[in-house]
Amino acid sequence: MNLSYWERTSFFKDYDYCIVGAGIVGLFAALRIKEVTPEANICVLERSVIPDGASTKNAGFACFGSLSELIEQKKKSSEAELCSLVAKRWAGLKKMRAVLGDDVIDFKNWGGYELFTEQDKPVWEECINQLPYFNTILKDIIEGAENVYQHADHKISEFGFQSVEHLIYNPYEAQIHSGKMMEALIKKCREKNVQIFFGAEVKKINQEDKFASIELNNFELKTKNVIVCTNAFATELLPALELEPGRGQVFVTNKIENLKLKGTFHYDAGYFYFRNIDNRILIGGGRNINFEKEKTTQFGITEEVKNEIIRLMNEVILPNTDWNFEMEWSGIMAFGKELSPIVKQVSTNIYCAVRCNGMGVAIGSVIGEEIADMCIKNS
Ligand SMILES: Cc1cc2nc3c(=O)[nH]c(=O)nc-3n(C[C@H](O)[C@H](O)[C@H](O)COP(=O)(O)OP(=O)(O)OC[C@H]3O[C@@H](n4cnc5c(N)ncnc54)[C@H](O)[C@@H]3O)c2cc1C
């Protein structure tokens, strides 16, 4: 693009902060910078016509982890690390609700459940043994909650499940409408005079002497600070970052009369998840069926994951009911060996906040704020 004088001194002036990626992390970072330094010039550069990574493709679980997920995560970290991470997830959800409003994002506190079938007996036994311990450590994090995780076997028939032997209930889990959440976030940013460019793919970022330059399609921007918030795609710009992509496939059924399901549900240590939405079931997951194949930044649906999800629907979730999938899509997450995200200064004028480990609805807001504060403090 051959920029005119007018464009150079308006749309593409030298910015104080350029944020790459208009997902939940990037937009919350922009809002935080405006909150602390309202006079700052900020732009967000997003390669697609709408945010197009994970923030508008997810399942909309407002959760901080099922019991079996937390047990697995505890094996990889200390109690203090895990508690701090859960606290961040809880704080992040509160932040998102406070900034955008429960009605706007369709926040519904319908509770969350974890299912256990006969084949999950060992996991169930571990969960039941560890339940009192986790309820104790979570009590102060989830603001005085006496019993975050509770036995709920009596609800199995209420939901119409088949082959489910046990259920654990978490009354503090909720669900949102991720599209409405992101629309509201974009609106908030625009109200605060954050310039958002869609269709603006960043090709390269260079650390110059005392500033950073950003290469787009045939033109370059200069900025005092750049914050990379492209999550699973971040190694395209910053190859040294330690993260791996993980594709998540999602399916939505037709409208089902008298749908009994209400809430968010986790199965198989969180690898499968489903929920109700507008009398439909949204279901996703299955990365564990073929980890290597799903370690990709390519969007797409595979037969092996879809078939397993169909089996789960027929045999466990919605037996003896006619249903079909009316929609399917995928989104890309970022994972690492460590559970915590990467929030750091990469060079004098380049920062990044990425690798939400599949929990960005929960932690995205606080991660965005954390990187914004770091960047403001150092500049
Ligand atoms: C299927 C699925 C289900 C999920 N379910 C849940 C859930 O229920 N609860 C939960 O807490 N989390 C869930 N997550 C995770 C959550 O959605 C993510 O952790 C979160 O959205 C990450 O936000 P982000 O802003 O870091 O990244 P993203 O939303 O991926 O945003 C990054 C943006 O950067 C843009 N971009 C990439 N490269 C460039 C470039 N070169 N130039 C310009 N722009 C670029 C992308 O288009 C994208 O819009 C799920 C994720 C998926 C995929």
Mean pLDDT of 176-204: 98
Q: Distance from the CA of 209 to the center of ligand 1, in angstroms?
A: 31
Provide the pLDDT for residue 342.
97
Provide the pLDDT for residue 249.
98
Q: Distance from the CA of 40 to the center of ligand 1, in angstroms?
A: 26
Would you say residue 151 has pLDDT above 80? yes
Chain segment 126-144, per-residue pLDDT in tens: 999 999 999 999 999 998 7
Provide the pLDDT for residue 113.
98
Q: Distance from the CA of 285 to the center of ligand 1, in angstroms?
A: 15
Mean pLDDT of 267-280: 95
- Say which amino acid occupies 133: Y
pLDDT cut 90: percent of the chain above it:
94
Nearest CA to ligand 1 atom 32: 230
Mean pLDDT of 177-181: 98
Provide the pLDDT for residue 325.
98
Chain segment 365-378, per-residue pLDDT in tens: 999 999 999 999 99
Atom of ligand 1 nearest to the CA of 25: 25
Split at pLDDT 50, 70, 90, the class of 339 is confident
Provide the pLDDT for residue 238.
98
Distance in angstroms between the alpha carbons of the first and the last residue of the chain: 30
Half-sphere exposure of 223 (CA within 13 A, CB side): 29
Residue to substitute in 19, 47, 275 for testing ligand 1 pocket (most ligand atoms within 8 angstroms of CB): 47
Provide the pLDDT for residue 2.
82
| Structure tokens belonging to residue 229 | 């918030």
Provide the pLDDT for residue 245.
97
Provide the pLDDT for residue 344.
98
Residue to substitute in 223, 251, 359, 367 for testing ligand 1 pocket (most ligand atoms within 8 angstroms of CB): 359
Mean pLDDT of 148-170: 95
Cβ–Cβ under 8 Å, residues 353 and 229: yes
Would you say residue 94 has pLDDT above 90? yes
Chain segment 14-64, per-residue pLDDT in tens: 899 999 999 999 999 999 999 999 999 999 999 999 999 999 999 999 999
Provide the pLDDT for residue 1.
78
Q: Is 263 left (phi over 0), alpha (psi -120 to 50) or beta?
A: left
Provide the pLDDT for residue 218.
85
Mean pLDDT of 355-369: 96
Residue to substitute in 89, 277, 361 for testing ligand 1 pocket (most ligand atoms within 8 angstroms of CB): 361
Report field, pTM of the whole predicted structure over 0.85: yes
Residues 6 or more apart whose CB falls under 8 angstroms from that of 55 comprise: 23, 24, 178, 181, 182, 360, 361, 364
In angstroms, the CA 111 to CA 261 distance is 11
Would you say residue 84 has pLDDT above 80? yes
Mean pLDDT of 255-273: 95
Provide the pLDDT for residue 379.
87
Instruction: Sketch out the chain's domains with CATH numbers.
Output: 5-56+179-242+339-378 (3.50.50.60), 106-174+243-335 (3.30.9.10)
Q: Which residues line ligand 1 (CB under 6 A)?
A: 20-26, 45-48, 51-55, 57-61, 201-202, 229-233, 236-237, 248, 250, 284, 331-333, 356, 358-362, 364
Would you say residue 269 has pLDDT above 90? no
In angstroms, the CA 167 to CA 165 distance is 7
Provide the pLDDT for residue 18.
98
